[in-house]
Amino acid sequence: MQGIRTTNGLMRQDGRGLIGKLSWQGYAAFTIQEYRTIAGRFCDGIEKRGLGIGDLDAATTERLRHSVLSGVTGSTRSYAKFCARRFIEHLIEAGAASRAPAQRKKSTPLERLRAEYENYLRKQRGLAESTIYHCTRFLERFLTFRFGDKLGDLNAITPDYIVAFICHLKAGSHPRRQKALPSHLRSLFKFLFWSGKTKRDLAQSLPHVATASDNLPRYLKLEDIQRLIESVRTGDAIGRRNYAMLLLMARLGLRAPEVIAIQLGDIDWRAGEILIRGKGKLHDRMPLPADVGEAIVDYIRNGRGGFFRVRAERAPRFLEPVVRLFASLSTESVSTFLNQCQVFGTDNY
């Protein structure tokens, strides 16, 4: 149907669709797949109901949203709702769906605080949307823990309440899932102090929270680093990939997400420099050591076929072919690989 082709085209044609925008903005493959799944379910629902573009009014879109989310359960449902909301907003902005008439609903103090916090994280901190989502979730959870349904006096928050909240979450059935808890709370209290909503910086009162990574060594000796690098050096594509990644981390001190974000166009071979995409959307140029450059070239020339996936809208990512090999190569997978090397020794790698 024309309506179906037009709706799908909003995602694909000329890179202007939602999926194209997310790819161009450098979203992780796993995140893009989540949006692609939600968008596909919407399009399936449109096709099943025989709807055209003019039929996507607010009520119909809401029924579609409810139908799409009905098949999502467990811990992924909250993020699926977020993806569905963004996809619907995309359809509305593209003129494929209509927005519900604005209702004059007075926002609550908590809603206004959340909106201000989101703006701070997005404009002042330059954080990714997925990180903003988790930060605001912790805002809601902590303030509900402290005040209940209604927002109270923020200056009434004390270090004792912060410790009690951390203990409450750490005592749950999945304490390891709370490993980002200190950083999210620290970000919240810095915002409250920065915006003048609290008289003191409660971020300074956050205690150290032990995690599984506390059992790992804080650093490796030079000979251990060299053993680790050499242990992954094999003649196949995976070995060449791992060798290049570890060299980048060891020689330049890069974090896993910074390595994954490297694109072919980021390397200036003549100048011997490489562009690093760090936190907060900050970009820095660093010298490219000769051995690191040689490892990258070796992977490009002798690694897995089709190493660079050409895209019209942006330069190919350094590690994208691994996505096809393992379904996804994320920051977590690289970090897990490094942790396993340190925990179990390098002999197995």
Lay out the sheet containing 273-277: strands in order across.
267-268, 273-277, 283-287
* Band (53; pLDDT cuts 50, 70, 90): low
Structural domain for 187, as ranges: 109-212
The predicted-structure confidence for 166-177, as pLDDT tens digits, reads as follows 888 877 655 545
Choose the most confident range, by mean pLDDT, from 74-78, 91-95, 202-206, 333-337. 202-206
The overall pTM is greater than 0.85: no
CATH number at residue 141: 1.10.150
Say whether pLDDT at 200 is over 80.
yes
Residue 331 shares a structural domain with residue 239: yes
Domain end: 193, 212, 231, which one? 212
| pLDDT at residue 349, as a whole number | 41
The predicted-structure confidence for 224-250, as pLDDT tens digits, reads as follows 888 888 888 888 888 888 888 888 888
Task: Specify the range with the lowest mean pLDDT, choosing from 49-53, 153-157, 308-312, 328-332.
Answer: 308-312
| pLDDT at residue 167, as a whole number | 84
CA atoms of 16 and 313, how far apart (whole Å):
9
CATH number at residue 269: 1.10.443.10
| pLDDT at residue 12, as a whole number | 41
Residue 252 shares a structural domain with residue 337: yes
Phi, psi of 268 (to 5 degrees): -100, 95
Domain assignment present for residue 200? The answer is: yes
| pLDDT at residue 3, as a whole number | 47
Q: What is the 3-state secondary structure (H, E, C) of the chain?
A: CHHHHHHHHHHHHHHCCHHHHHHHCCCCHHHHHHHHHHHHHHHHHHHHHCCCHHHCCHHHHHHHHHHHHHCCCHHHHHHHHHHHHHHHHHHHHCCCCCCCCCCCCCCCHHHHHHHHHHHHHHHHCCCCHHHHHHHHHHHHHHHHHHHCCCCCCHHHCCHHHHHHHHHHHHCCCCHHHHCCHHHHHHHHHHHHHHCCCCCCCHHHHCCCCCCHHHHCCCCCCHHHHHHHHHHCCCCCHHHHHHHHHHHHHHHHCCCHHHHHCCEHHHEECCCCEEEEECHHHCEEEEECCHHHHHHHHHHHHHCCCCCCCCCCCCCCECCHHHHHHHCCCCHHHHHHHHHHHHHHCCCCC
* Band (218; pLDDT cuts 50, 70, 90): low
- And the tokens for 134? 């988790």
Residue 154 shares a structural domain with residue 72: no
CA atoms of 239 and 242, how far apart (whole Å):
5
Domain assignment present for residue 217? The answer is: no
- What total of structural domains would you count in the chain? 3
| pLDDT at residue 22, as a whole number | 76
Mean pLDDT computed over 72-101: 78
Say whether pLDDT at 5 is over 50.
no
| pLDDT at residue 190, as a whole number | 93
Cβ neighbours, 10 Å, residue 171: 9
Residue 161 shares a structural domain with residue 130: yes
* Stronger pLDDT, 212 or 340, i.e. the higher one: 340
